[in-house]
Amino acid sequence: MGESGMNSWGLFVMITMMMVMVRGGMGKSFRGSEGLQNCVHSTHSTSWKTLLANDIAYTPQMGWNSWNHFRCNIDENLIKGTADAMVSSGLAALGYQYVNLDDCWGEPNRDSEGNLVAKCSAFPSGIKALADYVHSKGLKFGIYSDAGTQTCSKTMPGSLDHEEQDAKTFASWEVDYLKYDNCENNGISAKERYTRMSKALLNSGRVIFFSLCEWGQEDPATWGKDVGNSWRTTGDIEDDWNSMTSRADENDKWAAHAGPGGWNDPDMLEVGNGGMTTEEYRCHFSIWALAKAPLLIGCDVQSMDSSTLELLSNEEVIAVNQDELGVQGRKVKKDGDLEVWAGPLSGNRVAVVLWNRGSSQADITVNWSDVGLCPSAVVDARDLWASFNSNIGSRITRCPSGFSCL
């Protein structure tokens, strides 16, 4: 465990994640509940561009990205091994479909015709061959560029003023996903720069998922739905509790802007990288799932331990994230360090997270009215981590012991 994990040990805990279903239906109070109303009302706006005209991202993207664990220490063997591990571990079968190459994959200069070039020492077979290998495993391949003159590592060119050329290059390599960063941007408006690449991708002749990595600086949640399939609402995440919880809070305020075709992105998962405890990672994964955040694994899947695989493989928690209703769950109740997060699901269901962010044992009570249900409702509840069913009327109370999930 890293030093940051030691510093945060035992300070915060999520006690459970539930899915509840009302017998006989939700009742008219569901969408009128103050706690959930704001995350429902604008999700399917009539002004929404039809899935950005690329007809993808009906649910948040799932997959893997190289940056959180490997930074610039990447090569084609790592990516091939990761693709193999995604399949052999069962993660691919659960929906983790993208294998995404992040920064540092290219040579420092373009070729004589102005094209991006793969770093020959790390990717001697070229990007097209690597994409072919990933595709041969039944997976999709993603790549990285930047809406500036250089990428954030400053080791390779960005795509500013080369959008059409680079989009055609990515299409020729059969890339399925583009993460587009925000460094070295010459002070040009993010909306202008990202719109250029959006149009270039749509004109490239290939369907490419467009992930805006703008860090939330110009409130991309308010305009991203017309430009990309997901948009970062926060700065970069780090593998520690304070970073993770702050990203969750920052992302929460934009819940009303997410929905099928376009998703708020509080950054990639840190689960399995060693800076937090297993219970803290369980909180991380639960909140990201509830908030309909992209589930992009950021650890070394070739060497992850069994507890990491177990967390990432919880089919019922993944199903909350991938639910067809596509409404982002949000924080609906707060009493000091005690919080309730909730969001509606298809089939007359609601997902609920009880989160104790303090150091002491404490009761957390959820009244059904807190999560948009009729106060007198009797529900069938299921704890998605404990795989336990129960029948509950009017409210539920749980009292977590220190440093654990129940």
Give the closest residue to 360 by CA, choosing from 12, 125, 24: 12
pLDDT at 119: 98
Give helix 241-252 / helix 278-290 axis angle, nearest 10°: 10
Average pLDDT in the 307-335 region?
97
Q: Do the beta carbons of residue 351 and residue 319 sit within 8 Å?
A: no
Helix (H) or strand (E) holding 16: strand 13-22
Q: In the chain, what percentage of residues exceed pLDDT 70? A: 86
Q: What is the DSSP letter of 388?
A: E
User: What mean pLDDT, rounded, does the chain reach?
Assistant: 88
Decide which of 40 and 341 is more confident: 341
Q: Do the beta carbons of residue 300 and residue 333 sit within 8 Å?
A: no
Q: Is 204 exposed, middle or buried (0-12, 13-18, 19+ CB in 10 A)?
A: buried
Give me the catalytic one of 103, 166, 176, 181: 181
Tell me the residue type at 106. Answer: G
Is the whole model's pTM more than 0.85, yes or no? yes
Decide which of 48 and 122 is more confident: 122
Rounded-to-integer distance, Cα 367 and Cα 374, Å? 9
Residue-wise pLDDT tens digits, 248-267: 999 999 999 999 999 999 99
Rounded-to-integer distance, Cα 150 and Cα 181, Å? 10
User: Cβ neighbours of residue 47 under 8 Å, at least 6 residues apart?
Assistant: none
Give the closest residue to 217 by CA, choosing from 188, 245, 197: 188
Average pLDDT in the 228-253 region?
97
Tell me the residue type at 145. Answer: S
Average pLDDT in the 166-172 region?
98
Residue-wise pLDDT tens digits, 325-372: 999 999 999 999 899 999 999 998 999 999 988 888 888 899 999 998
In the residue annotation, 236 being an active-site residue is answered as yes
Q: Is 360 exposed, middle or buried (0-12, 13-18, 19+ CB in 10 A)?
A: exposed
Q: Do the beta carbons of residue 344 and residue 325 sit within 8 Å?
A: yes
Q: Is 380 exposed, middle or buried (0-12, 13-18, 19+ CB in 10 A)?
A: middle
* Banded pLDDT at 47 (limits 50, 70, 90): very low
Q: Do the beta carbons of residue 108 and residue 122 sit within 8 Å?
A: no
Q: Do the beta carbons of residue 113 and residue 157 sit within 8 Å?
A: no
Residue-wise pLDDT tens digits, 96-142: 999 999 999 999 999 999 999 999 999 999 999 999 999 999 999 99
User: Cβ neighbours of residue 229 under 8 Å, at least 6 residues apart?
Assistant: 52, 54, 56, 57, 61, 209, 210, 211, 261, 262, 263
pLDDT at 45: 37
pLDDT at 39: 36
Give me the catalytic one of 161, 226, 236, 380: 236
Beta bridge partners of 388: 383
In the residue annotation, 132 being an active-site residue is answered as no
CB atoms within 10 A of CB 42: 14
**Range with the lowest mean pLDDT among 8-22, 69-83, 195-209, 325-339?**
8-22
